[in-house]
Structure 1
Amino acid sequence: MGKLKDKVVIITGGAGGIGGGIAKEMVKEGAIVAIVDVNDETGKAMAQELQAISPKSMFLKADLMDHENLGKIVEAVVSKYGKLDVLVNNAHASKQVTLEETTQADLDLSFGTGFYPTFYLMQAALPHLKESKGNVINFASGAGLAGHETQGAYAAAKEAIRGISRVAANEWGRFGINVNIISPIADSPGVQAWAKAQPEYYEAVKNKIPLGRFGDVQADIGRVAVFLASDDSQYITGQTLMVDGGSIMLH
């Protein structure tokens, strides 16, 4: 049957990396997934992969920086499937520079691809999530929780996402909507490129992870996303789940 049988899911940044891992794991559990991405080629390729398991799944090309039209993403999905059960706000782009060097353009990129799409898609999805008593899964980062150097714009946007997620959990709990946050460390394509460019630094970071490895985007991050999208997590909301091998232990 699958934990997510016939649940309709939107995943931003779903053409690859963590978003792609989540999409692949969710269709295995019976979900119908609409991946949203700006990259047409990789988006279509991922859609084909998903449709081999979940024929109704689809790819929507969209630029998340086009904030005025974000509502059309939700409209398109609900128009096609008649409902929305889960919103996964995964996409985020940023530039690594020191605070001193951070420009308005750097802030606009991070907030424009991460915070604002998360906020506006949550607003657009709300009427439909009320009907389905659905779930929102947003993404935080150890960069924000630990204050990693050169990550000012990214950390700021990620912590802003955590803030609105907690507000939504409080405001939307009365509608039966759960809102939670994943803070991952994963062996994504970006991390793999970094490993090739700076192998010694990569190994140093990996060795500080208590479980001794970077997470798998599908088996590790994807499985937690399935849990948060399923009925198994119905009494969890407003929480940040550290899916990072023990790198940051909240207390």
Structure 2
Amino acid sequence: MAKLEGKIALVTGSGQGVGQGIALALASEGAAIAVVGRTLEKLEATCRLIEARGSEALAVECDIKDPGSLSACVDRVVSRFGGINILVNNAQEVPLGSLEAVSDEAFEAGWQSGPMATFRLMKLCYPFLKGDGSIVNLASTAAKRWDASHYGAYAAVKEPIRALSRAAACEWGPDNVRTNVILPHAKSPGLKGWIEQNPEEASAFMASIPLRRIGECEEDIGRFVAMLCSEEARYINGQSIAVDGGQAYMG
């Protein structure tokens, strides 16, 4: 029997990249997937890939910066599938650049799509997750960099997600809701663009990864998330886990 047979997963930003990889991996283990994001065409493409693997999928257009859109998203997923067992907060806009270069608007978009969206969606899903739920939130190792130049704003909108996740793990653990964080390196469209724009820094970045490669969205990141949401990881709660080939030291 598949590890996640009968489970319902809501994955934000699953029209492409890491979110899509996670959605596909969860579907391969038997979960039905609510594919959530901004671009319907991309969401429907992911749904077709999921359905080809024999799992159910629902495309849900959603602006994660809008509380009303998040609430409507959860209502639609529950109406279609009857509940939610797994929540993956993946989607986020990230402000990159020096402190002087990052605008207030870019920073605010990172805050609203990251910590605020995570905070809101966890609370919306909590009543359905009680009993056997798993939350996986995505953060970043940007705050672990020795030289934080040009990554301060990025780290600043990712680190609060770890704090919120730890609180959820402690407050909701008695209800058998587990909350964990992954900090991944993966071949996402965003990372690809960064590599193309910063070839020298990207080369040094690659050399700093002990495994000497960037993770695959489904095979490396998605499958780990699927395991983390399964009974095999039922005692893992409140942890931040770097899924990055050994680059970051989380101690």
Shorter-normalised TM range: over 0.9
Q: Which residue of 2 aligns with 1:126?
A: 126
Mapped to 1, the partners of 2:235 and 2:4 lie a distance apart of 17
Q: Which residue of 2 aligns with 1:142?
A: 141
Secondary structure of the structure 2 residue equivalent to 1:70:
helix
Deviations 1:190-247 (A, max 9, x none): 2222333333322221011011111111111011100111111110111001101111
Q: Which residue of 1 aligns with 2:43?
A: 43
Mapped to 1, the partners of 2:104 and 2:174 lie a distance apart of 38
Mapped to 2, the partners of 1:38 and 1:99 lie a distance apart of 28
Contact 1:106–1:153 (CA under 8 A) maintained in structure 2: no
Give the drift of 1:104.
Answer: 2.1
Mapped to 1, the partners of 2:93 and 2:235 lie a distance apart of 31
Structure 1 residues 55 and 2 mapped into 2: Cα distance closer, same or farther (>3 Å)?
closer
Letter in 2 for 1:33: I
Mapped to 2, the partners of 1:150 and 1:195 lie a distance apart of 15
Deviations 1:74-120 (A, max 9, x none): 11111111111000000011221212333321221101111111110
Comparing 182-191 and 239-248, the one that deviates more: 182-191
- TM-score with structure 1 setting the length: 0.95
Contact 1:145–1:159 (CA under 8 A) maintained in structure 2: no
Deviations 1:117-147 (A, max 9, x none): 11100000010011x4200000110112337
Mapped to 2, the partners of 1:91 and 1:68 lie a distance apart of 17
Q: Which residue of 2 aligns with 1:80?
A: 80
How many residues are paired up? Answer: 250
Comparing 184-193 and 132-141, the one that deviates more: 184-193
Secondary structure of the structure 1 residue equivalent to 2:150:
coil
Letter in 2 for 1:121: L
- 5+ unaligned residues in a row in structure 2: which ranges? none
**TM alignment of 1:198-213, pairs within 5 A:** 198-213=198-213
Task: Name the % identity.
Answer: 37
Mapped to 1, the partners of 2:245 and 2:16 lie a distance apart of 21
Mapped to 1, the partners of 2:200 and 2:161 lie a distance apart of 32
Q: Which residue of 1 aligns with 2:25?
A: 25
Mapped to 2, the partners of 1:211 and 1:231 lie a distance apart of 28
Mapped to 2, the partners of 1:188 and 1:245 lie a distance apart of 15
For the pair 1:178 / 2:206, whether they are aligned, the reply is no
For the pair 1:110 / 2:110, whether they are aligned, the reply is yes
- 5+ unaligned residues in a row in structure 1: which ranges? none
Q: Which residue of 1 aligns with 2:8?
A: 8
Mapped to 1, the partners of 2:248 and 2:216 lie a distance apart of 17
- TM-score with structure 2 setting the length: 0.95
Deviations 1:19-44 (A, max 9, x none): 00001111111110111010122111
